[in-house]
């Protein structure tokens, strides 16, 4: 791409993203739908962390810690219980990059359909890949930032509320950090891809959001499996999920690019 | 003067149905071209193909010498489009709506600010620039949308029902703006159902129904359908006919006498009587009318008024569309009365 073309593409993408966010902050439904679950989740995680300080009795969590690659030998009995209470939050944090982007993407694309703004928008020199990239990033960035900020606040709280060894051996463990750093963007792009596909076929944002929310069911299933001890989310599983969902992301991107064409948008999207 | 828009056999199918087919059109730079047609005639499809929004299935088209398929990006830079409905971001202020599109059209920020001020002031929206577009009336939204389509000073402007939501004052402002844009050398395509408006401001009109039925100036369309017709109003009860040997005496001194006399004059076609007026069809009134009037006066007629009959564009449009409907029905009849497998006759007038 030539320097001039790159500059224009960047300008178009930034313009669309700016427009998306300008509308986003004026839409209370989107703000509440994205912020409330994130804030509640962080508060819940900190609350559990705080309450776990009152635990005194040991448990059989050492075996579980071994499975997830955390050195359980460094924890006492009550620490083991704390760890087994806090560990599911690793999975719960992955709900944020699924819920936030799909909500934003749904309101963004279906909102344009409702306002009938797509035709004048597509009549400008913007390229459809620029529009797709801008809408995708506008939905993905808040999802990623919300997850990372939420985790950072939780980690900071853990640093001061929880015992040092829980902070350094669980929350800053390789499994947790890799999951937060790697899985978050991968899950985010899964949500964005699905958001685009669903939005191209529905007429109102609520329907898109409701369909999109089905996406969290596998995560809830994973959480239940983890709590019941069927599955332990260790480093190996995190990497396996990252590769699998990454492949699905590429497939969704392929479908999204095909759906997101001027012809398709103006003649097929309803 | 060159052509701003040319189409050659342009067509577009949706599924197995032609929405537009075999459209051949040349629109000169600086024209206000009215695109008229009933709902579903393919006007929107034509607009979208010319704006490089959808690709043609057949034929080709160019806008400002740029091919609508191969040079779509350039076409979009040279076209401004006002769609119906306005398509604005309701929860953003008016100015913000325009700023967004200024960026998408790659306008320099300083130039963009000037353009936004210019058009918001032109359409009387400057005082409301910081109000949300969603709080605007339909007419104000239409004006804001029009401002948006002009921001980048396009050479070709496509306007879909630009005055449909406006009060008479607003509609006049938009019409005046269209004429001013034409004065700046821009080409305007006006899609409208308001035929009086088309007659008023369009240099030429094209009537479409899937294909181009007829194209020309409003006057040319009228003349093609009805020829040039002159109304000669005769004012007295004709007491002194004089000796007109060629007339049948039994007719007496009636309007029919004059009609008969008129038909014998050179250059005169059909003559009809309507009350106290003669309606005379002529190929070239400038050459033949003086002789006719002179003859009628000599024969004792008190000629009160001679005026060319103006048929409205609306009448011409309705007649042309009705003729096309008839042709379509005739063309469809053999196909719809085909015998389906099993011997059951499907469709057709006899069903």
Distance CA A107, CA A73 (A): 49
What was the pLDDT predicted at B108?
A: 94
Distance CA B215, CA A263 (A): 29
Distance CA B44, CA B20 (A): 10
Alpha carbon A117 to chain centroid distance? 28
Q: What are the residues whose beta carbons fall under 8 Å from the beta carbon of A177, sequence distance 6 or more?
A: none
Q: What band does B145 get if pLDDT is binned at 50, 70 and 90?
A: very high
Interface size A-B, in CB pairs within 8 Å, comes to 74
Does B341 have pLDDT greater than 50?
A: no
Q: Which residues of chain A have pLDDT under 70?
A: 1-2, 53-81, 270
What was the pLDDT predicted at A91?
A: 85
Cβ-nearest to A120 among B54, B90, B148 = B148
What was the pLDDT predicted at B338?
A: 43
- Percent residues over pLDDT 70 in chain B: 88
Task: Tell me the pairing of strands B268-274 and B277-282.
Answer: antiparallel
Question: Are B91 and A8 in contact (CB < 8 Å)?
Answer: no
pTM of the model: 0.77
pLDDT-wise least confident of B117-121, B231-235, B257-261, B298-302 = B298-302
Cβ atoms of A182 and A242 within 8 Å: the answer is yes
Question: Could you give phi then psi for residue B215, rounded to 5 degrees?
Answer: -140, 145
Interface of B with A in 163-222 (CB under 8 A): none
Does B91 have pLDDT greater than 70?
A: yes
pLDDT-wise least confident of B93-97, B104-108, B250-254 = B250-254
Average pLDDT of the residues in B42-51? 93
pLDDT-wise least confident of A262-266, B24-28, B76-80 = A262-266
Question: Are B87 and A122 in contact (CB < 8 Å)?
Answer: no
What was the pLDDT predicted at B251?
A: 43
Question: Are B53 and A22 in contact (CB < 8 Å)?
Answer: no
Distance CA B97, CA A27 (A): 16
| Residue in B36, B97, B184 with CA at minimum distance from that of residue A120 | B97
**3-state class of B213 per DSSP?**
strand
Largest CA distance in chain B: 85
Q: What are the residues whose beta carbons fall under 8 Å from the beta carbon of A208, sequence distance 6 or more?
A: A102, A105, A106, A107, A109, A110, A195, A198, A199, A202
Question: Are A120 and B87 in contact (CB < 8 Å)?
Answer: yes
Average pLDDT of the residues in B291-304? 87
A111, closest residue in chain B (CA to CA):
B89
Q: Using an 8 Å CB-CB cutoff, list chain A residues near B101.
A: 120, 124
A4, closest residue in chain B (CA to CA):
B106
Using one digit for the tens of pLDDT, what is the confidence trace for B120-140? 998 889 999 999 999 998 888
What was the pLDDT predicted at B148?
A: 95
Using one digit for the tens of pLDDT, what is the confidence trace for B237-286? 454 444 444 444 444 457 888 888 888 888 888 888 888 889 888 877 88
B345 lies within 8 A of chain A by CB? no
Chain A residues whose C-beta is within 8 A of a chain B C-beta are 8, 11-12, 15-16, 18-19, 22-23, 26-27, 115-127, 262-263, 266-267
What was the pLDDT predicted at A56?
A: 54
What was the pLDDT predicted at A72?
A: 57
Distance CA A143, CA A120 (A): 28
Cβ atoms of A195 and A64 within 8 Å: the answer is no
């Amino acid at each position: 791409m030539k320097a001039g073309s790159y500059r224009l593409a960047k300008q178009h993408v930034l313009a669309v993203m700016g427009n998306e966010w300008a509308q986003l902050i004026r839409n209370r439904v989107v703000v509440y739908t994205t912020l409330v679950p994130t804030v509640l989740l962080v508060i819940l995680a900190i609350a559990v962390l705080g309450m776990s300080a009152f635990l005194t009795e040991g448990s059989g969590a050492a075996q579980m810690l071994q499975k997830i690659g955390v050195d359980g030998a460094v924890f006492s009995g009550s620490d083991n219980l704390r760890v087994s209470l806090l560990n599911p939050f690793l999975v719960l944090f992955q709900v944020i990059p699924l819920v936030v982007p799909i909500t934003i993407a749904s309101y963004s694309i279906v909102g344009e359909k409702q306002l009938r703004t797509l035709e004048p928008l597509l009549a400008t020199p913007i390229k459809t890949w620029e529009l797709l990239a801008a809408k995708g990033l506008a939905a993905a960035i808040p999802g990623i930032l919300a997850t990372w900020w939420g985790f950072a606040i939780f980690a900071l709280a853990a640093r001061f509320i929880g015992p040092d060894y829980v902070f350094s051996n669980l929350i800053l463990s390789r499994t947790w950090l890799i999951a937060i750093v790697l899985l978050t963007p991968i899950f985010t792009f899964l949500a964005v891809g699905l958001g685009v596909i669903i939005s191209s076929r529905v007429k109102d944002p609520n329907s898109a959001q409701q369909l999109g929310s089905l996406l969290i069911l596998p995560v809830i299933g994973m959480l239940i499996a983890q709590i019941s001890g069927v599955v332990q989310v260790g480093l190996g599983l995190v990497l396996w999920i990252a590769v699998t969902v990454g492949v699905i992301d590429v497939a969704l991107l392929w479908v999204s690019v095909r759906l997101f064409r001027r012809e398709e948008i103006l003649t097929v999207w309803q | 003067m060159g052509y701003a828009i040319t189409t050659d056999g342009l067509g577009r199918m949706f599924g197995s149905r032609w929405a537009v087919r075999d459209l051949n059109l040349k629109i000169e730079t600086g024209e206000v071209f009215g695109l008229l047609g009933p709902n579903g005639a393919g006007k929107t499809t034509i607009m979208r193909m010319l704006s490089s929004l959808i690709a043609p299935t057949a034929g080709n088209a160019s806008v400002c010498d740029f091919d609508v398929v191969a040079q779509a990006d350039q076409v979009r830079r040279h076209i401004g489009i006002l769609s119906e409905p306005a398509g604005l971001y309701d929860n953003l202020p008016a100015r913000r709506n325009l700023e967004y599109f200024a960026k998408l059209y790659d306008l320099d920020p300083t130039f963009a600010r000037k353009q936004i001020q210019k058009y918001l002031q032109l359409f009387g929206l400057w005082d409301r620039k910081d109000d949300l577009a969603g709080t605007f009336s339909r007419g104000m939204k239409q004006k804001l949308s029009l401002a948006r389509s002009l921001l980048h000073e396009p050479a070709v402007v496509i306007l879909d029902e630009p005055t449909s939501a406006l009060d008479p004052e607003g509609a006049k402002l938009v019409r005046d703006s269209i004429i001013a844009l034409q004065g700046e050398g821009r080409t305007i395509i006006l899609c409208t159902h308001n035929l009086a408006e088309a007659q008023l401001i369009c240099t030429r009109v094209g009537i479409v129904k899937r294909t181009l039925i007829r194209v020309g100036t409003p006057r040319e369309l009228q003349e093609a359908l009805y020829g040039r017709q002159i109304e000669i109003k005769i004012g007295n009860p004709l007491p002194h006919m004089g000796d007109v040997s060629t007339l049948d005496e039994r007719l007496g001194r009636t309007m029919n006498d004059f009609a008969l006399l008129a038909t014998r004059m050179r250059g005169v076609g059909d003559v009809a009587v309507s009350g106290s007026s003669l309606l005379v069809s002529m190929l070239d009134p400038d050459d033949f009318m003086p002789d006719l009037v002179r003859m009628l006066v000599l024969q004792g007629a008190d000629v009160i008024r001679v005026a060319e009959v103006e048929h409205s564009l609306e009448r011409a449009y309705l007649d042309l569309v009705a003729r096309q409907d008839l042709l379509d029905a005739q063309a469809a009849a053999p196909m719809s009365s085909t015998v389906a497998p099993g011997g059951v006759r499907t469709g057709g007038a006899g069903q």
